[in-house]
Amino acid sequence: MRPKFLLAATFVALLSAFVAVNRIRHPPRASHVDHLGRFEAIPIEGAVGPESFAFDPLGGGPYTGVSDGRIIKWQQDERRWINFSRTSPERDDCGGHRDHDQMEHVCGRPLGLRFDVTTGDLYIADAYMGLLVVDPSGDMPTQVATQAQGLPFGFTNGLDIDPRNGAVYFSDSSTQYQRRSYLSVIISGDKTGRLMKYDPETKQVTVLLSDLSFPNGVVLSENGDYILVAETTHCRIMRYWLETSNAGNFEVFAQLPGFPDNIHRSPRGGYWVAMHSRRGRLLEWVLAYPSMGNALLKLPFNIMKAYSYLAKWRGSGLAIRLSEQGEILEMLEDRNENNWGSVSEAKERDGTLWMGSVNMPFAGKYKI
Ligand SMILES: *[C@@H]1O[C@H](CO)[C@@H](O)[C@H](O)[C@H]1NC(C)=O
């Protein structure tokens, strides 16, 4: 019993360190603008968690994937969301105010979104359905890849598209753990993540990198000579060279103070990295001893339940803009004012930063 008790105590301490303790915050019910007028929360109906944003080639949107498997589109002129598509044909048990986490393997959970600027098709990395593509009408998407080298994807997550040839670069965060157990990917020290490339001409998937620790957001450089991939467990951004004499090199691009999620190029140069939460000391310690993480996972209680309970006291939202050299240029942190938490996305467009999250019931708009 004693070792178990010790583990349980450590686990609780670990969670409190992981989720920076804060006062309980209530999500805004209606569209909310903060006192400085810089932040606006746009509520989402019937679901939560706008994980990433994409604008279509005509500038419409943004589009975002939410917890019940829908992809919705923001109509700026009407100031409302409309339904665009969904990643599963199954819709019967997907709507309403249920716990969407429990149904996402059936209903789908769209994460990374990017438009092919030439065809106007939207590519979707769905955590459970793999890589999909939908035409501009928003009809039922087509699954284009669900496995590579005989190994099925477990947690398809981020993607980017090379506008020169339509090649899609995407990540599978783990073949062992599903999205709803994302904390287990970190705690167990899982290294089954992969970075892949889908060629729409040949319809072939190539594995570029394997044995990654929670690969998450991906982004190509401006001229496509390298790709950045967030390695969430290690709180860092890695760079993989695709072209030039460096091709094939894989190196650390930036070490960060928290767990990175999606990455986007900023129109002002460099890259916006969204951060789920800050890195706690105890978690750092556990990560140094993977056997400890594995022992924690064997404890007789639901790790995700405990985590989501503690997640009510969220750490403050965070986004960082990195230079082309990986240095921190800007850092945005919510000091309890705007209810941000678990930031998954920071996408800059026309002087506005669209902020996404895996569990908040709104999309955030921040005037830069
Ligand atoms: C979008 O779809 C949801 C779920 O199917 C539905 O409840 C909602 O009314 C639809 N919204 C609009 C604006 O059509």
67 CB neighbour count, 10 Å cutoff: 25
The model carries a pTM of 0.87
Ligand 1 mean position, distance from CA 39 (Å): 26
Q: Is residue 289 part of a domain?
A: no
Q: How confident is the model at residue 26 (pLDDT cuts 50, 70, 90)?
A: very low
Q: Does 308 score more than 90 pLDDT?
A: no
List pocket residues of ligand 1, CB cut-off 6 Å.
46, 82-83, 95
Count helices and strands (H / E) in the chain: 6, 27
Q: Is residue 97 part of a domain?
A: yes
Q: Is residue 266 part of a domain?
A: yes
User: Which residue range(s) make up the domain with 46?
Assistant: 31-280+317-367
Rounded to the nearest 5°, which phi and psi values hold at 296? -60, -35
Q: Is residue 148 part of a domain?
A: yes
The enclosing domain of 94 has a CATH number of 2.120.10.30
Q: Is residue 166 part of a domain?
A: yes
Choose the residue to mutate in 44, 45, 74, 80 for probing ligand 1, maximizing ligand atoms within 8 Å of C-beta.
45
Q: Does 83 score more than 70 pLDDT?
A: yes
Q: Does 339 score more than 60 pLDDT?
A: no
N-to-C CA span, the chain: 53
How many domains does the chain contain in total? 1
Rounded to the nearest 5°, which phi and psi values hold at 303? -60, -40
Ligand 1 nearest-atom number relative to CA 95: 4
Q: Is residue 5 part of a domain?
A: no
Mean of pLDDT over the chain: 86
Ligand 1 nearest-atom number relative to CA 83: 1
Atom 13 of ligand 1, residue of closest alpha carbon: 82
Atom 10 of ligand 1, residue of closest alpha carbon: 83
Summarize pLDDT for 176-235 with one digit per residue, the tens.
999 988 888 988 889 999 999 999 999 999 999 999 999 999 999 999 999 999 999 999
Contact 190/177 with Cβ under 8 angstroms? yes
Ligand 1 mean position, distance from CA 103 (Å): 18
Q: Over the range 293-323, which residues count as b (16 or more CB within 10 Å of their CB) and which as e?
A: bebbeeeeeebeebbbeebebbbbbbbbbbe
Q: What is the DSSP letter of 282?
A: H
Q: Does 311 score more than 50 pLDDT?
A: no
| Look-up of token digits 């930063």 | 353
Q: Is residue 303 part of a domain?
A: no
Q: Is residue 299 part of a domain?
A: no
Atom 2 of ligand 1, residue of closest alpha carbon: 83
